[in-house]
Amino acid sequence: MKVGAELEITFLGTGTSQGVPMIACDCAVCHSSDPRDTRLRTAARVRTPKAEFVIDTPPDFRTQALRENLRRIDAVLYTHAHTDHVMGFDDLRRFCETQDMEMPIHATPAVIAEMRRIFSFAFDGSGVAFRNFIRPHVHEITGPFALGDLDVTSVQLPHGRFSTTGYIFSKDRRPLLAYFTDCNAVPQAAREAARGVEVLVIDALRPHPHPTHLSVSEAIEAARGMQAKRTFFTHMGHDLGHAQTEAGLPDGVRLAYDGLRVSVS
C-alpha cells in the first residue's frame, strides 16, 4: 500500500460468471495474448491503514489469494449469493487457521440465509473446536456500519429478478470507493449515496444491453450521474477486448484487470 494512501483496492478478478477465456470459445478475446484479457471471476481486496478485507469469494478465490499473496483478511463483504461470488467461501478456513479467529461475514439477512443454506456445514457449529475449520461470525447488514477506519454504507442494486448489495466506503464523510457489481441499473438513492466518489467500480458486462447487467454505455452514464472522479469497469465478458475497448472510453473511465491496484490518497 502506498505511503499516505487512505485506501487501496486490488482487483482479484474482473470476469463474468464463466470467466475469460470461456470454455470452448474461439473468439479473439478468449485467445488474446494480452494478460489483461484473462479474467477470473469478480472479487476485490480492499486495504486501509487499519483494515484489510475482501468483497466476495468466487470459485477462483484460492488462485487469487495465492497470486496476490494474501496473508490477512479482517472481514468478508458479500454482494449476493450467486455461485460466481460465493463458491470460494470454504477457502476462508485457511485465514481462520493462520489468524486463529472467527471470520466476520457481512451481508444482508437474505444473503446470510442463502449462505447458511449453501454452506450449512460451516454454520452448524460442528467445526468450532477445530482451528483449521471455517468459523464464520455473522454480521447482518441492516444499516451503515464501521469497518476499521471506514464508514460503510450499503445500497440495493437491481440484478434482474434479484438484487445485489453495493458498498460505499467513506472516511470523514468523504466517499473514497463505491463498489457496484452485478447490476442492470443504479437507482437514484444509490447514485446520491456515491455522488462525488473518488473511485467507482461498476459492472460493465458487454457493449450491448443485457437483462441483468449494465452495458458499457449504461455504466458510463451511471458514472457521469454519480460524478465519479475515476471509474473502473468490472464483471466483464469476452465481448470486451481490453485495449480496443479502452481506446474508446472517455477520460477518467478505464477497464480494470486482474491484479490491478488502485490507491486513493
Question: Could you tell me if 193 and 168 are in contact, meaning their C-beta atoms sit under 8 angstroms apart?
Answer: yes
β-sheet bridge partners, residue 106 = 77, 139
* Alpha carbon of residue 6 to chain centroid: 18
Q: Which of 51, 86, 50, 52 is nearest to 69 (CA)?
A: 52
DSSP H or E run through 199 = strand 199-203
> Is the backbone of residue 173 left (phi > 0), alpha (psi -120 to 50) or beta?
left
Prior bond of 211 cis (ω within 30°): no
The pLDDT value recorded for residue 179 is 98
pTM for this structure? 0.97
Task: Report d(CA 122, CA 1) in Å as an integer.
Answer: 32
Assigned C-alpha cell, 198: 473518488
Domain 7-256 fold is Metallo-beta-lactamase; Chain A (3.60.15)
Tens digit of pLDDT at every position of the chain (265 positions): 888 899 999 999 999 999 999 999 999 999 999 999 999 999 999 999 999 999 999 999 999 999 999 999 999 999 999 999 999 999 999 999 999 999 999 999 999 999 999 999 999 877 666 777 899 999 999 999 999 999 999 999 999 999 999 999 999 999 999 999 999 999 999 999 999 999 999 999 999 999 999 999 999 999 999 999 999 999 999 999 999 999 999 999 999 999 999 999 9
> What residue segments make up the domains of the chain, in order of their start?
7-256
| DSSP for residue 15 | B
The pLDDT value recorded for residue 1 is 86
Phi then psi dihedrals of residue 129, to 5 deg: -85, -5
The pLDDT value recorded for residue 133 is 86
